[in-house]
Amino acid sequence: MDHVDGRDITAAPDGRVYVMRIWREGSSEAEVWRASVREGTSGERRYFTSLDDCLDHLYMEFMRP
Protein backbone atom coordinates (compact mmCIF):
# COMPACT_ATOMS: atom_id res chain seq x y z
CA MET A 1 0.00 0.00 0.00
CA ASP A 2 1.36 3.45 -0.96
CA HIS A 3 0.98 6.37 1.43
CA VAL A 4 1.45 10.13 1.14
CA ASP A 5 1.09 12.20 4.31
CA GLY A 6 -0.56 9.22 5.99
CA ARG A 7 -3.19 8.82 3.23
CA ASP A 8 -3.65 5.69 1.14
CA ILE A 9 -3.03 6.87 -2.45
CA THR A 10 -3.71 3.49 -4.10
CA ALA A 11 -7.44 3.92 -3.47
CA ALA A 12 -7.80 7.30 -5.21
CA PRO A 13 -10.88 6.73 -7.43
CA ASP A 14 -10.70 10.05 -9.30
CA GLY A 15 -7.01 9.98 -10.12
CA ARG A 16 -5.44 10.24 -13.56
CA VAL A 17 -2.12 8.93 -14.78
CA TYR A 18 0.04 10.68 -17.36
CA VAL A 19 3.50 9.83 -18.61
CA MET A 20 5.43 12.85 -19.85
CA ARG A 21 8.58 12.51 -21.94
CA ILE A 22 10.89 15.48 -22.63
CA TRP A 23 13.87 15.54 -24.99
CA ARG A 24 16.06 17.89 -27.00
CA GLU A 25 16.33 17.89 -30.80
CA GLY A 26 18.56 19.68 -33.25
CA SER A 27 22.14 20.81 -33.37
CA SER A 28 23.85 22.58 -30.51
CA GLU A 29 23.26 26.00 -32.10
CA ALA A 30 19.59 25.32 -32.94
CA GLU A 31 18.54 22.97 -30.15
CA VAL A 32 14.84 22.85 -29.19
CA TRP A 33 12.87 20.99 -26.53
CA ARG A 34 10.12 18.54 -27.50
CA ALA A 35 7.61 16.73 -25.32
CA SER A 36 5.00 13.98 -25.43
CA VAL A 37 2.28 13.01 -22.99
CA ARG A 38 0.62 9.60 -22.80
CA GLU A 39 -2.64 9.25 -20.89
CA GLY A 40 -2.29 6.16 -18.72
CA THR A 41 -5.69 4.52 -19.03
CA SER A 42 -6.48 5.08 -22.73
CA GLY A 43 -2.90 5.11 -24.03
CA GLU A 44 -3.61 8.23 -26.11
CA ARG A 45 -0.35 10.03 -26.90
CA ARG A 46 0.12 13.68 -27.89
CA TYR A 47 3.30 15.32 -29.13
CA PHE A 48 4.29 18.95 -28.56
CA THR A 49 6.83 21.23 -30.21
CA SER A 50 7.32 23.25 -27.02
CA LEU A 51 7.28 22.63 -23.29
CA ASP A 52 4.81 25.50 -22.84
CA ASP A 53 2.30 23.79 -25.16
CA CYS A 54 2.72 20.53 -23.25
CA LEU A 55 2.20 22.17 -19.88
CA ASP A 56 -0.83 24.09 -21.20
CA HIS A 57 -2.34 20.81 -22.36
CA LEU A 58 -1.74 19.15 -18.98
CA TYR A 59 -3.23 22.13 -17.17
CA MET A 60 -6.39 21.87 -19.29
CA GLU A 61 -6.55 18.12 -18.59
CA PHE A 62 -6.31 18.73 -14.84
CA MET A 63 -9.08 21.34 -14.99
CA ARG A 64 -11.63 19.14 -16.75
CA PRO A 65 -14.14 17.37 -14.52
Domain ranges of the chain: 15-63
Q: Where are the beta strands (DSSP E) in the chain?
A: 3-4, 7-8, 18-25, 32-39, 45-48
Q: Has residue 58 got a pLDDT over 90? A: yes
Q: Where does the pLDDT of residue 64 fall: very low under 50, low under 70, confident under 90, or very high at 90 and above? A: confident
Summarised one tens digit per residue, pLDDT across range 22-53 is 999 988 788 999 999 999 888 899 999 999 99
Q: Which residues contact 20 (CB under 8 A, 6 or more apart)?
A: 35, 36, 37, 54, 58
Q: What is the DSSP letter of 30?
A: S
Question: pTM for the whole thing?
Answer: 0.67
